Amino acid sequence: MPDPTQFVDLRIRRFVSERLTPAIYRERQQLTVTSWDVPGEPVPFAEAVTQQFAPFRVGDEWSRPWGTTWFHITGTVPADWEMTDARVEVLVDLGFVSGHPGFQAEGLVWTPEGHILKAIEPRNTAVPLEIGPGDSIDLYIEAASNPDVQGESVYAPTPMGDLATSGDAPIYRTRVLDIGLRDVPVWELAQDVWTLDGLWRELGEEQPRRAEILRGLERLIDTLDPDDISGTAEAGREVLAPLLASPAYASAHHLVAVGHAHIDSAWLWPVRETIRKCARTFSNVLSLMDENDDFLFACSSAQQFAWMKEHYPDLFERIKVRVLEGRFVPVGGMWVESDTNLPGGEAMARQFVAGKGFFIREFGIEPPEVWLPDSFGYSAALPQIVKAAGSKYFLTQKPSWNETNVMPHHTFNWEGIDGSQVFTHFPPVATYNSVLSQEELHKAQRDYKEKGEANSSLVPFGYGNGGGGPTREMVAAAERTRDLEGSPTVEMTSPQAFFEQAEAELAQPPVWSGEIYLEFHRGTYTSQARTKRGNRRSEHLLREAELWASAAAIRTGAEYPYAELDSAWQTVLLQQFHDILPGSSIAWVHQVAEEHYERVAGELETLIASALGSLTGEGETALLANAGPYAVDGVPALGGGASGAGSTAAPAPVTLTRSGDDLVLDNSLVRVTIDADGLVSSLFDVAADRELVPAAERAAELWVYRDTPAQWDAWDIDVHYQRHGRPIRSVESVEVVSESADRVVVKVSRSDGASTFVQELSLSAGRPTLDLTTDVDWHERQKLLKLAFPLDVHAERSSSEIQFGHVNRPIHRNTSWDVARFETSAHRWVHVGETGYGVAVANDSTYGHDVTRTTRDGGGTTTLVRESLLRAPTFPDPHADQGRHVLRTSVRVGADVLDAAAEGYRLNVGPRPVTGSAPIEPLLTVDDPAVVVEAVKLAEDRSGDVVVRFYEARGAKARATVTPGFAFESVAETDLLERDVDQTAIVDAEGALALSVRPFQLVTLRFRGVSALR
């Protein structure tokens, strides 16, 4: 006998689409509409409503891409509408296209008094009103004609990501601006059907529950009168009531559903539009809270709350009320959901300082969890930073995107480079945009990896990325699956409640040690080089500004620029968002980011000049101010003086000789041979008496690769790029452009394709380092540019700088995890070595690297270190990375990891020329180079206390004496928020200040009662 299921299924589907859904609104009537097009950027409500509005017909086109149209809608509720079990709503369709909410037209609905009601979006098109027959409707809709940049493809170049190229033609045509009467029982019935229909599809054919639901749905259709759905809806609900009342299995997986809207702070829209997206989403959430007492919403970014406070103060006050009720829940404790691979250590710390500081000041709340569902991999330094910020939980979802390997746990302890562990959850639902469908709930139950030991997971629900948030349909789904046979159970509560429950369930969590590397989106280490350079430059300018401003405040009484530094930090932290700094946003976003970096640089340069002027006094003596933690060219760390002042003997001079077509540079520490092709054919460590360039190889060579990933252009570098590369060897000139005893510079000029390349290779006296500056005028498309250094070093692993330390990665390809890690991120340096010997490759703005090892014919191995300098993806910015770039690299021979660290600081925060009358005594000194000063600043509470942040850089236990160059009354260890914590590093504070630190330990000291030394 044929299985009747498919026929029942077809009957259900057709009945729902043709009878049930159309009956949700008993009545509809078109409203009267007028409109005003904003001529430029968005304007406030108070300005918009004073404009001249013109008649508008539903069905007409409106606004250009990225434009705004204000619609004024008026009407009256018909006197004959029957209101029993019904509610009046305004219904709006701005011309929505298929696809996800948040990626197209949106609207915000206002009353004439300037009160925000809620938003209109593709799957949230109704505005409930507390009115009845004969009442008037008078509302404004601020409609944003944001283009669907992604469209049907995530690959095709588009002009829509740049205001200058997006055109003026309208892209939307209104469809609906109506008043409607929602039949509440019919709507509730539709939710019943949606839940049960989804449930039977997830159950096995052998389960009686599946057949029971199918037959119940069929009885429902028999019960309903297709010509009077409204009149028979209650009878239909009675048919389904027993099916919905049957309780869940005792062993059903338990899901904590957290209302959420992952609003990207910028991505396929500019930051200015994100501010409006937040207002739209948050107003939706507040409206939903008014209707559902059990509904909670989690919002992760302090920046988004701060935007509401600045731009929508009334909305912010409404949010604040719900925050204090515990229903609008700040989570994460960061300024934004930042990338975690690329920001420097101090910047990652400041994400928490700024984020938690805002939540504590505004709400008296400190989130205990870190909330990063969508960042592109997670640094091995994060567990320690999380704990140092006073947090203890971590949530991510992104590893579900891995191309090769599956994470072995969903709930676990994550261990960082210093041994710190943080309780971590990776939701098995594998999305942060859940709609609470049965498909999603069953996936979580099916895939949860800690079965048998624990039974709870978290599901973030609500439309995200472009905003929108949870809908009333999602809340209805949560209510129906609270305790439903055949379904996992669902509870709406807070992230903290989930973590406390999960922690109690799992007494001995498994441990994941080291970075959580995302096997995807590897191109984000390189895309949009200008944005990355702006970030790196800003981080180091902030270091300088804080150090010198602190010194000037202590020693000269200069005013510390708290407000200016806070503003600069907030700009930099915002632009570390995981679609800005990684280079995966539209052109508009990166244009604005680069403008902001230039503004920040100008402001910080002014602060630095003012502070240094106070410290050095008036005079014409040439000095160098060294804000780095290591002495450079005789200039002390964290101080200033004349070049070479601290040296006991002059270094050997640099010599230049010619051997045939080769140029040989020698400073008695390293000898560099540059051949006729402008490539390094020999890099000889004089002290170690060893050649580092393998026979038949050449270093400092540029390679260009085909870069056509299978999916996300700006995000991805796929492994197949390795099969499509070639060196750039054609040379136009090799010339000596500077020759002195202190420094010799050789310039090499090339062209390839539509691009030109000028490299300067230089050797300086007293430095075992080859410096390179690569000046590229880049005009390729979908190409990857790498700079290669083959080295005769037998390395088993590479060490890459990350926040407050480094991570070691195997170079071999023994496992699928090793194979998948073919492109990696590093901050200022990469180190490779064998026992007793190593080489450091440092950079001033590059993050992407790959390190491999091959066996040479005849024996021996070559370790190849390559920097990824530039890419040229065509989506979402079709002109990404085009134009001129200047990138600096250095190769230090005979280096350990501390030498690598010193080299990284030299390239990024080298001594700054100043003039004055006196040197600058260091604000403090540390006698162990492994204990690195990362930041010196005045305390956040403006008390005048001095805060110094250190970390252990070698990866070994260290003991150091710290000598402050100022008087102080007491010193204490603190967390990142500068609150006292248990003393673990200070071993002596009575005499000399002595620290004992474990490998990679992060230590923050707060000096109280500070004054200048007399």
912-916 and 924-926 beta bridge pairing: unpaired
* Sheet with 993-997, side-by-side order of all strands: 924-926, 958-964, 993-997, 986-988
d(CA 795, CA 788) in angstroms, rounded, equals 16
Q: Is 374 a catalytic residue?
A: yes
* CA contacts within 13 A on the Cβ side of 406: 8
CA angle 140, 142, 144 (to 5 degrees): 155
- The phi, psi pair for 988, rounded to 5°, reads -155, 115
d(CA 672, CA 657) in angstroms, rounded, equals 11
Question: In angstroms, how far is CA 180 from the centroid of its own chain?
Answer: 41
Segments of 431-539 assigned E as strands: 456-461, 489-492, 511-513
Calculate the CA dihedral of residues 89, 92, 97, 98 and round it to 10 degrees.
10
Helices and strands (H and E) in the chain: how many: 18, 53
- The phi, psi pair for 973, rounded to 5°, reads -80, 140
What's the Cα-to-Cα distance from 279 to each of 304, 328, 735, rounded to whole Å?
9, 14, 59
d(CA 87, CA 635) in angstroms, rounded, equals 76
Question: In angstroms, how far is CA 929 from the centroid of its own chain?
Answer: 32
Q: Is 173:141 a contact under the CB 8 Å cutoff?
A: no
Structure tokens at 123: 């799957």
Longest dimension (CA), the chain: 102
Residues near 658 by beta carbon (within 8 Å), at least 6 away in sequence: 664
Report the 10 Å Cβ neighbour count for 815.
Answer: 11
d(CA 549, CA 793) in angstroms, rounded, equals 43
CA angle 299, 258, 412 (to 5 degrees): 100
Q: What DSSP designation does 560 have?
A: P
What is the DSSP secondary-structure string of 355-407?
HHHHHHHHHS----EEE-SS-S-B-TTHHHHHHHTT--EEE--GGGG-SS---
Nearest alpha carbon to residue 132 among 176, 80, 183, 186 = 80
Catalytic residue chosen out of the listed positions 60, 374, 752, 775? 374
Burial class from Cβ neighbours inside 10 Å (0-12, 13-18, 19+) for residue 601 reads middle
Q: 360-382 as b/e, with b when 16 or more CB fall inside 10 Å?
A: eebbeeebebbbbbbbbbbbbbb
Q: Is 775:781 a contact under the CB 8 Å cutoff?
A: no
Nearest alpha carbon to residue 715 among 607, 820, 612, 584 = 584
* CA contacts within 13 A on the Cβ side of 794: 7
Calculate the CA dihedral of residues 121, 126, 127, 130 and round it to 10 degrees.
-170
How large is the angle between the packed helices 302-311 and 271-291, nearest 10 degrees? 90
Report the 10 Å Cβ neighbour count for 778.
Answer: 22
Structure tokens at 220: 């429902």
Segments of 31-115 assigned E as strands: 32-37, 54-55, 61-62, 67-76, 86-93, 106-110
Residues near 66 by beta carbon (within 8 Å), at least 6 away in sequence: 145, 146, 147, 163, 166, 273
Q: Which residues are catalytic?
A: 374
